[in-house]
């Protein structure tokens, strides 16, 4: 086999490509992989911690593990969503409506963006708060049906879903660990700060 055959995979037996999302350049075309797999890879690359849950019982178990791991038993969770507080009201979790009282922000989201592993949120989750005004520790409850390929797709769904009541304060959570790298910045991440983030992903499809 010649030199170029070795380079370009000549011969009848061809080994599968070892190329992955992690090994490709930032400006190369996306690999055709499932949206959930792509999100998981990019989310972990951003520094996020991921817990997949088959049912709500596993969500509760995951929450207990997060609290124990970080010794948050006596820490009130900052929350802006009354229905989320009600859903976890019997789990011995203290909640607060004041950010300064807590080290943890507990929230839902609009969408999970596979393209860059970010989490799309809006005034439905943040009200008028800026990302810099919420605690650096965040626990997000999301579902698999909220996975989308890109920010553009997520914005289209939001526009269609809310129609005349499109939420304000739309932004993304993207950096889940302190970094000095020159990360690409878009109009939804400009000025955002790094967060320590856990994602509880509930299967609903």
Say if 11 falls within a structural domain: no
What DSSP line would sit under 184-197, residue for residue? Answer: ---TTTTT----EE
Say if 13 falls within a structural domain: no
Range of the domain at 50: 32-178+185-202
Q: Where are the alpha helices (DSSP H) in the chain?
A: 3-8, 35-45, 56-70, 82-87, 123-126, 151-162
Q: What percentage of the chain's residues is helix, strand, coil (to nearest 5)?
A: 30, 20, 50
Tell me, what DSSP letter sits at residue 30? P
Render each residue's pLDDT in the chain as its tens digit; 205 residues. Answer: 433 333 333 333 333 444 455 555 555 555 578 999 999 999 999 999 999 999 999 999 999 999 999 999 999 999 999 999 999 999 989 999 999 999 999 999 999 999 999 999 999 999 999 999 999 999 999 999 999 999 999 999 999 999 889 999 999 999 886 544 444 444 444 444 568 999 999 999 8
Say if 5 falls within a structural domain: no
For 126, the 3-state DSSP assignment is: helix
Count the domains in the chain.
Answer: 1
For 118, the 3-state DSSP assignment is: strand
Nearest CA among 111, 131, 123, 120 for reference residue 166: 123
Say if 59 falls within a structural domain: yes
Say if 26 falls within a structural domain: no
* Full-model pTM: 0.79
Hey, what's the torsion of the CAs at 165, 100, 106, 41, to 10 degrees?
100
Instruction: CATH number of the domain at 94, please.
Output: 3.40.50.10420
Distance CA 179, CA 8 (A): 37
Q: How far is CA 29 from CA 21, 37, 156, in A?
A: 10, 16, 22
């Amino acid at each position: 086999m010649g030199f170029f055959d070795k380079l370009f995979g000549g011969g009848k037996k061809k080994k599968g490509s070892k190329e992955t999302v992690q090994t490709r350049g930032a400006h190369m075309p996306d690999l055709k992989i499932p949206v959930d797999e792509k999100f998981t890879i990019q989310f972990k690359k951003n520094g996020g911690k991921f817990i997949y849950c088959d049912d709500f019982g596993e969500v509760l178990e995951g929450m207990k593990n997060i609290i124990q791991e970080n010794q948050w038993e006596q820490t009130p969770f900052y929350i802006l969503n009354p229905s989320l507080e009600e859903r976890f009201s019997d789990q011995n979790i203290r909640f607060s409506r004041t950010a300064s009282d807590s080290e943890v922000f507990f929230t839902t989201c609009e969408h999970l963006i596979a393209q860059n592993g970010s989490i799309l949120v809006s005034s439905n989750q943040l009200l008028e708060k800026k990302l810099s005004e919420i605690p650096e520790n965040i626990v997000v409850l999301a579902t698999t049906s909220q996975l989308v390929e890109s920010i553009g797709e997520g914005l289209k769904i939001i526009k269609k879903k809310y129609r005349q009541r499109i939420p304000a304060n739309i932004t993304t959570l993207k950096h889940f660990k302190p970094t000095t790298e020159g990360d690409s910045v878009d109009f939804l991440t400009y000025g955002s700060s790094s967060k320590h983030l856990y994602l509880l992903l509930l299967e609903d499809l």
